[in-house]
Amino acid sequence: MQRRRFLSLTTAGAATAVAMPTLSACGSDSGSDGNVLKVVAADYGDSAENTSQKYWDKLARAFEAKHSGITVDVKVYSWTEVDKKVADMVKGGDSPDIAQIGAYADYAAAGKLYRADQMLSIPTQAAFISSIAQAGEVSRVLYGLPFVSSARLLFYNKKLFDEAGISSAPESWADLKDAAQALKSAGVKIPYGLPLGPEESQAEALIWMLSGGGGYTDSNGSYTIDSTANIETFEWLRDELVGADLTGPRSPARTNRQDVFNAFTRGEVGMLNGHPTLMQQASGHDIDYATAPLPGRTGKSTSTMGVADWLMAFKANGRRKQIGEFLDFVYQEKNVLDFADQYDLLPVTTAVSATMRHEQEHKKLWRFLDQMDRAQFYPADKTSWAGISQMVKEKIGSTVTKGGDPASVLGEIQRAADAMETANS
């Protein structure tokens, strides 16, 4: 999921905040604050027409119809503000009962969240895809409940490729540079879209780290931000793509993901890394596109970035039983499928994943589903990750500008990460 956002429209970053309370199916409050669930969720839509508020309103009414003693009050906010909204609520002593946001580890470490086994029925706990659920664990205990997921693939404009004489998708970095040069020669405004601006550059950075054989952490979970592989990756981007004027007229450090997505839907971008929701946006603008595995340093990348967005339940209001009943309803197969289907995202339960794999109407998502087995996620289980992610957003773009120093910037982020880990240990 800027999710990401992988997805998110994390992953997707809605442009307009929506904050409408859900309507009760009973027409009024149940009369007992103890039975009013406060839910805060992120918006995956990009307009009032497809806002996630509509999904949550419908879900809440359906739940209330079967649980007459519980009212669900949902407020949906854009991805640009939802994390801060929840943080402010918690700090101000007005915690939601359930939040659907991008990070859970800080709240879990502070003892503010219920464990999954304190809320969910055994069938619901067992339904999650294990690799995604593991990304929601702190010290092997599940606190962050995966809500939706996504993986990343290379998207390319087939018409622009044909006009540039490119017969197939690039498989290596050298192929990608050759294709970008051909697109530039054919007059394409943005041969390769490289969004390293503050919206979700931590995602684009990880995609490139993985394709270069690196990542944010090693197999033991230790930060390896300033590894040789990562430094060489950003040096290549600086010299071979940005330095060769193959990423368009705007500096990648000031280019956000949605900027590049919007340009792709206008037919101005030859190639970019994208998540499943870009398919819907591109198709809506009649862009003839295709997807391919991510190019790697010397061939197809052996891994891709996976993103999950999280549901978490706060202890503050003591509504464990009601929370559990609602979350069991949220994770019913029909409801999981409805949300994933609406936004072209990937499900987090094995049953819905299997359903998508066997239905032709979801064929366009199969390639993304296939990627999940080798997807690597953000180190969201680390309480330091929120701070490090923000630091990456602020600084990573400078590594690829003229005169940029990847070793220095990555070293600075690494030292901050080490300091945070030491302080938290």
Average pLDDT, stretch 93-102? Answer: 95
Round to whole Å and give the CA distance between 178 and 166: 9
Length of the chain measured in residues? 425
Note the pLDDT of residue 249: 96
Tell me which of 108 and 80 has the higher pLDDT. Answer: 108
What was the pLDDT predicted at 344?
86
What is residue 214's predicted lDDT score, i.e. its pLDDT?
A: 97
Both tokens of 258, joined, read: 């949605």
Q: Is the pLDDT of residue 21 over 50?
A: no
pLDDT(291) > 90: yes
Q: What CATH number labels 1-151+307-378?
A: 3.40.190.10
Please tell me the predicted confidence (pLDDT) of residue 5: 37
Say how far apart CA 299 and CA 142 lie, in whole Å: 36
What are the pLDDT digits (tens) for 105-161?
Answer: 999 999 999 999 999 999 999 999 988 898 899 889 999 999 999 899 999 999 999
Give the pLDDT band of residue 424 (cuts 50, 70, 90).
Answer: confident
Ramachandran class of 198: left when φ > 0, alpha when ψ lies in -120 to 50, beta otherwise: alpha
Mean pLDDT on 15-34: 38
Name the helix (H) or strand (E) containing 234: helix 228-236
With 50 as the cut, is the pLDDT of residue 203 above it? yes
CB burial readout 216-227, b (16+ within 10 A) else e: bbeeeeebbbbb
Residue 6: pLDDT band (50, 70, 90) is: very low
Q: Is the pLDDT of residue 45 over 50?
A: yes
Most confident of 3-7, 197-201, 304-308, 334-338: 334-338
CATH homologous superfamily of 153-293+384-425: Periplasmic binding protein-like II (3.40.190.10)
Q: What angle do helix axes 52-66 and 320-330 make, rounded to 10 degrees?
A: 120
CB burial of residue 167 (10 Å; 0-12, 13-18, 19+): exposed
Report residue 33's pLDDT band, with 50, 70 and 90 as the boundaries.
Answer: low
Domain boundaries, the chain: 1-151+307-378, 153-293+384-425
Closest CA to 14 of 72, 53, 57, 58: 53
Q: What SS3 class is residue 207?
A: helix
Task: Give, rounded to a whole angstrom, the gap between the first and last alpha carbons of the chain.
Answer: 28
Contacts of 136 (CB under 8 A, 6+ apart): 104, 142, 143, 144, 145, 146, 308, 310, 380, 381
> Which residues touch 299 (CB under 8 Å, ≥6 apart)?
171, 172
pLDDT digits (tens, 9 = 90+) for 176-190: 999 999 999 999 999
Q: How confident is the model at residue 173 (pLDDT cuts 50, 70, 90)?
A: very high
Tell me the average pLDDT of the chain. 90
Note the pLDDT tens digit of each residue in 321-367. 999 999 999 999 999 999 998 988 999 999 999 999 999 999 989 99
* The predicted structure's pLDDT at residue 171: 98
pTM equals: 0.81
Is residue 15 within 8 A of residue 259, CB to CB? The reply is no
| Residue given tokens 């239905």 in the structure block | 359
- For residue 172, give Cα distances in angstroms to 95, 223, 233, 298, 326: 47, 26, 13, 5, 46
Q: Is the pLDDT of residue 14 over 60?
A: no
- The helix (run of H) or strand (run of E) holding residue 333 is helix 333-343
Distance of CA 266 to the CA centre of its chain: 23
Q: φ, ψ for residue 156 (rounded to 5)?
A: -145, 150
Beta-carbon count within 10 A of 88 CB: 11
Q: Is the pLDDT of residue 10 over 50?
A: no
Tens digit of each residue's pLDDT (9 = 90 or more) over 209-247: 999 999 999 989 999 999 999 999 999 999 999 999 999
pLDDT at 48 over 70: yes
Do 1-151+307-378 and 153-293+384-425 fold alike per CATH?
Answer: yes
Q: What are the residues facing 73 on neighbouring strands?
A: 38
Q: How far apart are CA 260 and CA 146, in angstroms?
A: 27
